Structure 1
């Protein structure tokens, strides 16, 4: 299927590793010009070189997305590089398990990273999407079954509610917004925190398809949702988890 992405432009945050890297590279290989945003320059440089060898174009942007004024700075830099931005993939984030007596500063940090940055970057790019009457926003979020107190879960739930509400406002302008909560997707952090024997046992007992996902397993959905082909899908939360979640909708 031709996803009709060859004339499009995109911004992907958290693009240096894992899911963000897979999405950025996948979009670029479909012909999209991509600004890849992350803090680690050496990883971005490697991504640029690998993608160029595969025939795609990625422009690296080293930036902290939660700094003061970061959203407007990112939007301006991306528009300067690309002319306009058709697609935004909000992916940067991090898990924040917290004790009951955690200080407000810990909660504020997690909300800023996992919710506020998503909202600010999207709203900074929305005016030019509205003007062009086309856009795609994809948010990589998190599960809705917290096994403990984790500020990231609360922040990602806020993303789901914000995105659903926003979808009602921007649909008339040809703009869609959707959320993808990952299941157990392999990453640096997963390999560091979960031994192989635990991963094998967990997959056998908890994941119906029987294995942990790779970043590319999620990237294929994000790339489809970013395409003109997905014009009638908006305001949704679509898990990519191998059947891990037990709720029915």
Structure 2
């Protein structure tokens, strides 16, 4: 299927590894001109080399910290200047933040800065130009809405969902769509290194929670991102679409 993405431009945050890197690779394979941002230059350089080796155009590398308001503005400005404007924003940066009932404000503030505020700020920086061109895509990688214990990131992702739904209604008539993708268990640095660090823990979780029988790959998320970014998905907005191997069936 031709997704009609040739020569569109995209900014992908959290692109140094995992889902963000997978999204950048898939978009580049579709002919999208990509800017990638994260804090770790070495990993961004490695991703850029892989994209080129796979036949894609070398992405624009922008090293920065999206939890810093000034850095966020700089990242958006540099990406827009390098690519002549941004058509597609994919907010991939985020991270689980399990906390206790008495966690201090600083823990909550950090979780919201990473998992909600960064996406909001990047979107707000790029949205005026999208609306002026009457075409744009904002796609947020979010999270589960059925936590089993207290996690500040879950609360932040809940805010992301409702913010995105409200924003979708405000900008739809301008040709801009806004959607969220809650991923299930994806083979990534965060999942394999922190949440499920042993093969035994992975097998146990899969048996109890994932009907399809395995963890997904970043590309499983990225393929849906590419579709939502395309003109073919023009009538999909304000949606929350899980990609989780059926794990959401067990949410209740």
**TM-score, normalised via structure 2 length:** 0.96
CA–CA distance in 2 between the matches of 1:211 and 1:108? Answer: 34
CA–CA distance in 2 between the matches of 1:82 and 1:146? Answer: 39
CA–CA distance in 2 between the matches of 1:114 and 1:56? Answer: 29
CA–CA distance in 1 between the matches of 2:212 and 2:87? Answer: 34
Partner of 1:184: 185
Alignment of 1:138-177 (within 5 A): 138-177=139-178
1:76 CA drift (Å)? 0.7
Partner of 1:82: 83
Partner of 2:200: 197
Q: Can you list the C-alpha shifts for 1:142-163, whole angstroms capped at 9, x where unaligned?
A: 0001111111000000000000
Partner of 2:93: 92
Partner of 1:6: 6
Question: Are the structure 2 counterparts of residues 212 and 5 from structure 1 closer, same or farther at C-alpha, using a change threshold of 3 Å?
Answer: same
**Uncovered stretches (5+) of structure 1, i.e. residues with no partner:** none
CA–CA distance in 2 between the matches of 1:248 and 1:133? Answer: 37
Q: Can you list the C-alpha shifts for 1:190-209, whole angstroms capped at 9, x where unaligned?
A: 22232112212221232111
Q: Is the partner of 1:160 in helix, strand or coil?
A: helix
Partner of 2:229: 226
Q: Can you list the C-alpha shifts for 1:95-119, whole angstroms capped at 9, x where unaligned?
A: 1111111111110111111101111
Q: Can you list the C-alpha shifts for 1:209-247, whole angstroms capped at 9, x where unaligned?
A: 111111111111011101111101000000000000126
Q: Is the partner of 1:69 in helix, strand or coil?
A: helix
8 Å contact 2:65–2:72 — kept in the other structure?
no
1:53 CA drift (Å)? 1.4
CA–CA distance in 2 between the matches of 1:75 and 1:191? Answer: 30
CA–CA distance in 2 between the matches of 1:68 and 1:120? Answer: 7
Question: Are the structure 2 counterparts of residues 184 and 248 from structure 1 closer, same or farther at C-alpha, using a change threshold of 3 Å?
Answer: closer
Partner of 2:71: 70
Q: Can you list the C-alpha shifts for 1:16-37, whole angstroms capped at 9, x where unaligned?
A: 1000000001101110000000
CA–CA distance in 2 between the matches of 1:190 and 1:126? Answer: 31
Name the Cα RMSD after superposition. Answer: 1.3
Q: Is the counterpart of residue 209 in structure 1 residue 212 in structure 2? A: yes
Q: Is the partner of 2:232 in helix, strand or coil?
A: helix
CA–CA distance in 1 between the matches of 2:48 and 2:193? Answer: 25
Partner of 1:56: 56
Q: Is the counterpart of residue 130 in structure 1 residue 137 in structure 2? A: no
